[in-house]
Amino acid sequence: MPIVLAISGSLRTGSYNTSLLSVAIAMLVEKGATVNGFDFKTMPLPIYDADMEKNEGFPDNVLKLKAEVKRADAVVIAGPEYNAGPTPLLKNAIDWVSRKNQQWSGENEWDKKVVAVISASPGAFGGVRAQYVYRNSLSHNGAFVVPDLVTLPLATDAFDVQGNLLNERTKKSLDRNMANLLEVSSRLRGL
């Protein structure tokens, strides 16, 4: 049974990205995956600081996130877009997880990790501009980023009151993306 780590790059209550991630999680569970989450609201990360890393090592919550990424067979990230770019919260997390610091038993946990990036936005682009930044950063750090581009534009009206995704086209695209995430992860693990 594959283990998938689910991360939302949004802290906002009622976040469209967290809602989209919830739909993805349900799809993954339906496909037989065990899904764990990492909540930045309860486990905040400090802004990456090379001096902090050098003098104090990795903060506890960074170590917890790195351990969760390492333990997972795959990762699904819901990446919001702020002002046509990535959220500082999510980019910061990607940066911390990438850090190799042998003094503190650190590795780049993104290396050879299979990752799917999805996004939702109330705007017409669905978060695609931020997705390119997340994808480039993860790929640069050795992750295998699932090529499917899943975006949800006009997300304000995309969910019903129970949190169900209303757009059938996006639902099919997301389901295919989650299936590809599990398939690529399985193949890389030799299963």
> CA–CA separation, 47 vs 42, rounded Å?
16
Looking at domain 3-188, its CATH class is alpha beta
User: What is the predicted pLDDT for the residue at 103?
Assistant: 73
Q: Which amino acid type is present at position 159?
A: F
User: What is the predicted pLDDT for the residue at 150?
Assistant: 97
User: What is the predicted pLDDT for the residue at 64?
Assistant: 96
Q: DSSP 3-state assignment of 31?
A: coil
Q: Which amino acid type is present at position 118?
A: I
pLDDT of the chain, 191 residues: tens digit per residue? 899 999 999 999 999 999 999 999 999 999 999 999 999 999 999 999 999 999 999 999 999 999 999 999 999 999 999 999 999 999 999 999 999 987 767 899 999 999 999 999 999 999 999 999 999 999 999 999 999 999 999 999 999 999 999 999 999 999 999 999 999 999 998 86
User: Within 10 Å of residue 119's Cβ, how many Cβ atoms?
Assistant: 30
> CA–CA separation, 92 vs 5, rounded Å?
17
Name the maximum alpha-carbon separation found in the chain.
51
pTM above 0.75, yes or no: yes
Q: Where are the domains of the chain?
A: 3-188
> CA–CA separation, 42 vs 13, rounded Å?
13
> CA–CA separation, 173 vs 179, rounded Å?
10
User: What is the predicted pLDDT for the residue at 102?
Assistant: 76
Q: Which residues face 178 on adjacent strands?
A: none
User: What is the predicted pLDDT for the residue at 185?
Assistant: 97
User: What is the predicted pLDDT for the residue at 60?
Assistant: 95
Burial class (CB within 10 angstroms; exposed 0-12, middle 13-18, buried 19+) of 170:
buried
The answer to whether 95 and 58 have CB atoms below 8 angstroms apart is no
Instruction: List Cβ neighbours of 87 (8 Å cut-off, separation of 6 or more).
Output: 9, 10, 79, 80, 81, 130
